[in-house]
Structure 1
Amino acid sequence: MSYLSYPRINFYGRFFTDPSTVNNDPTHYIVSDDPPSPWQNPDGLHQFKLENCTVVSTIGQNGEVADPIVNMPFMTTNTPSPAKIADLDVYQQGVPTIYGMQVSIPISSTVSLTGVVDPAVLNQLWWVSVLATRSWQDSDYLMDSFGGDMNACGIFQSVIRIPQGSWPEDSTSPILQQLRERTALEDGNYLISMRFVVDGYRNVPEDKNYQTGRITGSLGPVLGNEPRYNAGARWMWGRAQDKSNPWNWPMFNNVQFVVDFSRKLLILDLANGICRQNAGGAPVDLGNLTAWIVPEQGDKVSLGNVDYSEFCYNLYSHIVEIPLTDEQLALAKNSQIQLTMSRTDIGPSLVFSENVDQTNVEVEVRPIRISGTPGTTATTKVFVSKMCKPLLGKQLKLDIISVHGDTPGATVPPSNPGNTPQAIGAISASISPTDSNGYATVTIEILKDPGFRTPLLDGQLYFINLYDPAEPVPISPSQSSIISCLAWSDYQVNENPTWEDVQEILAGYVKLFPGMNKKINFSDFPTFQTFALNPPWQAYQVPPPNGPLGIERGAIGFYLSRDITDPRYMPVTRDLSPAKQMTLFHYIKNLIQTPIVPPTS
């Protein structure tokens, strides 16, 4: 919830991203489906950049303040390469992750606040954030006339790591000075909480804003033991969605909020909650939006109107602060919060409502990749709270779901088969009771070889749903409480692979990622050999490297051996298993030691 504290830096602008979507269709992974249909932007390189973003406001302890960084650029750098965005799996495209994003606020021509963002995962994604133009029925132009990506909206939350020695010492910005004083220092880095919301992405080449969308975000301190990649806040849930409703009844998502007891404020984050009038546009007109405290006994208490305007979205990242009296503050601590609209012609007036009895479950790192070798384990943390209070000794339960085309949450049409029978029983998962800070640990273990779905689609995909056994099992669990686990097949490392073995590993990338293949033609041996032997890694201006198996030259080995968080990592999709990766390293090592004459066939 740190970004909802103070000081807060709000930015606004556009983002650019160019993912190829050839790999978004499971049928393309069938060997005989060649060439696959191009889908959208087949030559895309999966870059993620900020465009024309600026700092639009700064919030101090007592509200908005004038600060020298307002109107300065908020930008991404290309160091060491543009950030990359990649899905976990063709059946789970709902947790795309941004890797290696470096952001910067130039304070002057020579000084900047610059840091690297931990991998950021999309959360609370919804596909109906734009008011329909015909109806909400799936059969009616897929709910409107715009197309899925333009209708989508979601949140990314992560941490920026600013090297301690690089923080601008002579900055004239009071906000930056206060931010450094309040935030955590860890392993020589100041940690900055970062939350940003993206919507209105344009994926039609004829659009003047092609491959861009709207972005609004906030930066704040990292405080105490709060979650790094979730708000750890209280939630109001949008009113029930029904596609049989009239087309002009807007949909609603969820609203995160906190009660700040030291500053006597109710702080609402509306940026991902209210339906837009058009893609990347203003919120739907709700009339007056009013906040209420609803105690268990007695009358509900009005907190007045809430500013949900487009102006608030653009200038304050749709974060609204409402002052509370001492009496209201005491009530808000344990009472339900609601938001109602004054309009009566677009559905029920209660549009957001908190469930004070619900346990809040938030997985910190939700996408998991794990080797398919039996005995391999992976872990992630889960923050468990109720009304912002961490729960001690809470024992959650979990369900493991083998994902098929018709599994709720799968991101492909239901007709696709998904996992194979071999996937059943291949993994286990357990969860510890929560500690004093409200954190539990989920441990995933490989029990047997998960196998693969097709020769080009490695491994199997699982959803692990977490829930409080004291409450009804949720029919549609929150995205925050679901782990998506890709378990690769148990491939045995081949220390003496042939060119044919290498081609088999790379076949899917050659077919499904034309943009990558145009950089280096992986189907052509002379090209592969050239880039496997050249250049020496010193050419990349990195310290003398200790490459895998002693490899210290060759572009392919260099990009293949970067850390998964590095934006230069290859393959950009990050779906190559460690065992297959090591097999490629052995082939490159053998090439370096004994260059091979190109095959004649």
Structure 2
Amino acid sequence: MSYLHPVRLVFSGTFQADVSTVNNDVRHYDNATFEPRFQQMQDSETGVENGWWNPTGSGAFRLMDCKVTSVHYKDGSSTRNPRTDPVVGMRIGSADDRVAGKLVDLDPQWQTASEIWGMQVHLVDDRKVPVVGGRYKPNPFRDLFFGRMSGVSNDAAASAVFQSVLEGIEWASQLPESRFLSELGELARNKRLSIRLTTFGYSGNASRGTYTLGVVSGVIGPYLDDEPESFVLGRRFAPQSPGFASAFGIGYFTGLLDQTGPTPSLLLDLSNALPLSKPKGEKSRGELQNLGDLQVGLLNDPNVAETGGLTPREFEPLGFIPYWDQDWLLDTGGIATIPLSAEQAERAARTQLALAVYRADSFDPPRLAIAETTQGVYTAVEPLTRRLDAGETTRTTFFVAQYGRPVAGETLTLKQTGANPYQGGGSPTAPLQPRAAIPDIGTPEDGLQVAPSATTNDQGRATVDLVAGKLSTPRGYLDGQLYQVNFVPTGLPAPSRAPFDLLTVHVRDAYPVPEKPRWSEHIRPIFVQFGNLYPIMSRRLVDLANPLDVFRHRNILKLAFSLNIEDANYMPVTRDLSEAKRKTIVAWLNGLEDEQPLKNDPTFQEALAECERLGGPPRRVTAPASAPQAPDVEPEGGKTRFARSLGIKGIP
């Protein structure tokens, strides 16, 4: 059941995604054609993209000013009163003694599966003492919804869902007297909790006080053994036409029929589904648009088209969605709980569900707003993305469910999408285009081996091996290759899936670890690229393109490249370095202890001599910023621009 469980806490607040946008254009990875202006802010007056809207971003992802708005109990009751349960009003955030997490794309040519790495999430009392918390496990966001918020444009109008688990859960030795904590503790015996973050209202405009900030609606609940970590395998609602939303502007979402408690209920997570209106001022969180009265019910005729009128025979209401209540979205986390009778629950377990819109002051029949997928079929894959070194084998799992129940013996056809051109290149009409060519992805296909089909077991799961080939720079200046795998059931209707819901695998280049790594041949090409893409590092910490600076900071670099990949301080922040290249860098840095690599590397000898002559490392030069964005214009953000480059329809 994951976070979509009767026992859950809801919180809301602000998130910060201070990403570096230099790496949003794949052509900036080419060291040979990189220009200093790629580290400058984009120019809204001329349209020159340069380093896009936040070139000096740190990559940090933070939860800020987040507080618990309500807690919910196993009997279906809830409270928003801190006198009833002291958890209400407590802060949700990262540990104060750790750095912020990092927001990372899988690759510049696939920017629609961002992950949070190295984040800690804790419930903290008014004395700033952690009550319970753990490590956030990286999982890509899902259901990226462009155009959700009206009145704004680009990334500011988008919304997405991060769902994962908190691992290594630690509880305070003395817990406050809380019914919620008691019930959660009884369920969380496996040291894991489920968490969902819905993010929207992001600002990429440097002229605003909300720059790099957005709104987050969060839910934390128990994680039950053997359930998916990054999605709810439940009742999947989807638009009838390709795109991001139905004719009423409602996006993909998932529900769950809960029959474990004394009273059956239907839980619907609408946090990322219902359309939003433009915030009224910088302190506004955005308001849900008024669609009219909204009901969930049984759809007895699956042939009704969206916006079509529904007769009582075609649609049987189960309950209202009270989304019009003030602050409903943030107070409830966007989760609607509909109590059901035993008879309603029994019929809902085998009947397609739908949302209908109507107006109480009108004689018009209710109209279909969005429905569950055909015959209630839901297919998904976890993990949604994979990073593989050359020759490495890993496994991924496909899921098939119908009306929320696993389907055994269903065969899925698995097929690579093949070569795809021009991904991750920004706007093709912008002036002063980077000179590097944009490589194709998905080729050669033998770079990834995957079975052509898989059949689900009794749990509705099919585990498949992914085998990485030994690639030799198929994308030239960019390490490795991206492969995407589509999955379609053969015995059930193919369900509507969100536009970016493909298994995506990054296979890294084959790279032999040299016996004696050298700066000029092995280290410099990697470090220069990282330094180009993350100017905040070269300006504030260490200039990775300069061997003198690298030598002076060798110990901290060795630490960063030796950390676990899930550590917030791991280098590189992009998580795209192969294990072979990482070992090469660490071996070279280890060798600096006795300066042997310096004696064998003429490039470094010259650098050391220059360092002695100058008396220290050279000064770093900070590139001037371009003209700032106009206060009333939101820049074309990274996700929106990337999706437009793919030709995805439905992006306003």
Same fold (TM over 0.5): yes
Distance 1:421 1:19, change over 3 A: closer
Following superposition, the deviation at residue 390 of structure 1 comes to: 1.4
Distance 1:162 1:493, change over 3 A: closer
Q: What are the equivalent positions in structure 2 for 1:342-381 lying under 5 Å apart?
A: 342=358, 349-372=367-390, 375-381=391-397
8 Å Cα contact 1:250-1:284 kept in structure 2: no
8 Å Cα contact 1:99-1:566 kept in structure 2: yes
After TM superposition, the score normalised by the length of structure 1 is 0.86
8 Å Cα contact 1:361-1:481 kept in structure 2: no
- Select between 203-212 and 420-429 the one with higher mean Cα deviation: 420-429
1:115 and 2:134 matched: yes
Aligned to 1:259: 257
8 Å Cα contact 1:506-1:522 kept in structure 2: yes
Amino acid at match of 2:286: G
Secondary structure of the equivalent of 1:357?
Answer: helix
Following superposition, the deviation at residue 470 of structure 1 comes to: 2.4
1:314 and 2:327 matched: no
Secondary structure of the equivalent of 1:216?
Answer: strand
1:498 and 2:518 matched: yes
- Select between 204-213 and 24-33 the one with higher mean Cα deviation: 24-33
8 Å Cα contact 2:147-2:153 kept in structure 1: no
Pick one of 153, 158, 167 that aligns with 1:161: 167
Aligned to 1:483: 503
Secondary structure of the equivalent of 2:528?
Answer: helix
- Select between 81-90 and 362-371 the one with higher mean Cα deviation: 362-371
Secondary structure of the equivalent of 1:120?
Answer: coil
| Aligned length in residues | 551
- Select between 233-242 and 275-284 the one with higher mean Cα deviation: 233-242
1:275 and 2:294 matched: no
Secondary structure of the equivalent of 1:5?
Answer: coil
Distance 1:472 1:293, change over 3 A: closer
Following superposition, the deviation at residue 503 of structure 1 comes to: 0.7
Following superposition, the deviation at residue 472 of structure 1 comes to: 5.7
1:301 and 2:301 matched: no
Amino acid at match of 2:409: G
Aligned to 1:7: 7
Q: Which string of whole-angstrom CA distances, capped at 9 and with x for unpartnered residues, describes residues 341-390 of structure 1?
A: 1269xxx9321101252531222211211112xx3212222332111111
Distance 1:78 1:561, change over 3 A: farther
Aligned to 1:140: none
Following superposition, the deviation at residue 27 of structure 1 comes to: 2.3
Aligned to 2:69: 56
Q: Which string of whole-angstrom CA distances, capped at 9 and with x for unpartnered residues, describes residues 2-33 of structure 1?
A: 21112110001110120011100122223213
- In 1, distance between residues paired with 2:348 and 2:528? 58
8 Å Cα contact 2:139-2:163 kept in structure 1: yes
8 Å Cα contact 1:20-1:44 kept in structure 2: yes
Distance 1:579 1:391, change over 3 A: same
Aligned to 2:641: none
Distance 1:124 1:517, change over 3 A: same
8 Å Cα contact 1:466-1:481 kept in structure 2: no
8 Å Cα contact 1:358-1:471 kept in structure 2: no
Secondary structure of the equivalent of 1:599?
Answer: helix
8 Å Cα contact 1:233-1:387 kept in structure 2: yes
- Which structure 2 segments of 5+ residues have no match? 39-49, 280-284, 303-312, 430-436, 608-652
Distance 1:567 1:325, change over 3 A: same
- In 2, distance between residues paired with 1:199 and 1:34? 33
Q: What are the equivalent positions in structure 2 for 1:139-288 lying under 5 Å apart?
A: 146-163=152-169, 166-185=171-190, 190-240=191-241, 251-261=249-259, 262=261, 263-278=263-278, 280-288=285-293
Amino acid at match of 1:7: V
Secondary structure of the equivalent of 1:89?
Answer: coil
- Select between 570-579 and 102-111 the one with higher mean Cα deviation: 102-111
Following superposition, the deviation at residue 239 of structure 1 comes to: 5.0
1:387 and 2:392 matched: no
8 Å Cα contact 1:76-1:102 kept in structure 2: yes
1:557 and 2:558 matched: yes
8 Å Cα contact 2:252-2:498 kept in structure 1: no
- In 2, distance between residues paired with 1:111 and 1:326? 41
8 Å Cα contact 2:450-2:467 kept in structure 1: yes
Aligned to 1:139: none
1:586 and 2:584 matched: no
8 Å Cα contact 2:71-2:78 kept in structure 1: yes
- In 1, distance between residues paired with 2:185 and 2:158? 35
- In 2, distance between residues paired with 1:365 and 1:414? 32
Pick one of 100, 114, 117 that aligns with 2:118: 100
Secondary structure of the equivalent of 2:593?
Answer: helix
Secondary structure of the equivalent of 1:593?
Answer: coil
Task: Write out the 4+ residue segments of structure 1 that deviate beyond 6 Å after TM superposition.
Answer: 241-245
Amino acid at match of 1:45: S
Pick one of 48, 55, 58 that aligns with 1:45: 58
Aligned to 1:537: none
Q: What are the equivalent positions in structure 2 for 1:450-529 lying under 5 Å apart?
A: 451-455=473-477, 457-471=478-492, 477-478=497-498, 481-501=501-521, 502-518=523-539, 519-529=541-551
Following superposition, the deviation at residue 226 of structure 1 comes to: 1.7
Following superposition, the deviation at residue 479 of structure 1 comes to: 5.6
Distance 1:401 1:96, change over 3 A: same
- In 1, distance between residues paired with 2:218 and 2:192? 16
1:76 and 2:94 matched: yes
- Select between 82-91 and 216-225 the one with higher mean Cα deviation: 216-225
- In 1, distance between residues paired with 2:443 and 2:354? 47
Following superposition, the deviation at residue 87 of structure 1 comes to: 0.4
Following superposition, the deviation at residue 39 of structure 1 comes to: 1.2
Aligned to 1:27: 27
What is the aligned-residue RMSD (CA, Å)? 2.7
8 Å Cα contact 1:288-1:341 kept in structure 2: yes
Amino acid at match of 1:492: P
- In 1, distance between residues paired with 2:244 and 2:471? 41
8 Å Cα contact 1:22-1:28 kept in structure 2: yes
Following superposition, the deviation at residue 421 of structure 1 comes to: 8.4
- In 1, distance between residues paired with 2:589 and 2:97? 27
Following superposition, the deviation at residue 528 of structure 1 comes to: 0.9
Following superposition, the deviation at residue 252 of structure 1 comes to: 2.2
1:324 and 2:340 matched: yes
Amino acid at match of 1:366: L
8 Å Cα contact 1:405-1:414 kept in structure 2: no
